[in-house]
Amino acid sequence: MRIGNYQGIWKLFSGMNQRNHLASRQSNSYGRNTLQDLLTGHYKNSYGVEGMCVTGRSDYKKIIPVSDEMKQHVLQDVKTAYYKYNGMSGDNEAEWDAYYRKNNEYYKTLKKEDRLSACWTLNQLHLEISGKVTSAIKEKVPGWSAGKQIPAGVLDEIFSNGNLLQDSMNTISGKKNLNIKI
């Protein structure tokens, strides 16, 4: 029985290995776990942040105080999603990488035990702001759904409300400890 030509498979794997090797060299081992990290249990995520493993945990699902700069960062990301992509996340990987890189740089400034909760808090804030914006659009444009064009001025009116961020923070703060089992 003949299985096939292995040359194509080896070529594919060697190409993948070469791309991974080049990427790791360009990033100066950014986010790579060393043998010592693995042996001591100090695992890092792909952005080089230790303490971000959620496996078998749900204790991180709580709202904690986060910096005003990061709250504004989340609000700006939501604005971009609505203005540029009509409520969709878009397809610009450079924008995604910049957004998550800034988040992960912020997490590095926190105590290791607060990092996952800060991530949870920022994600809940993102969801809450997006939900409020979507509801406001649907009030003004019945039948609108994400991805459909939003009439000019509607977003300006919604985002001009200076209370959007604070209202969203108040809403998620009411959900202080969401100790949800996975």
Give pLDDT tens digits for 100-134: 999 999 999 999 999 999 999 999 999 999 999 99
Mean pLDDT of 137-152: 93
Residue pair 159/142 in contact by the 8 Å Cβ criterion = no
Residue corresponding to tokens 């019945």: 142
User: Which of 81-85, 90-94, 100-104 has the lowest average pLDDT?
Assistant: 90-94
State which amino acid sits at residue 182.
Answer: I
Handedness of CA 181, 124, 111, 44 (dihedral sign): positive
pLDDT at residue 6 tops 90: no
Contact yes or no for 104/49 (Cβ under 8 A): yes
The answer to whether the CB of 163 falls within 8 A of the CB of 128 is no
In this prediction the pTM is 0.74
Asked if residue 38 has pLDDT above 70, the reply is no
| Rounded Cα distance, 95 and 105, in Å | 15
DSSP 37-104: HHHHT--B-TTS-BT---TT--TT-B-----HHHHHHHHHHHHHHHHHHTTS--S-HHHHHHHHHHHH
10-19, 26-35, 167-176, range with the lowest pLDDT: 10-19
- Round to whole Å and give the CA distance between 54 and 4: 41
| DSSP-derived 3-state class of residue 123 | helix
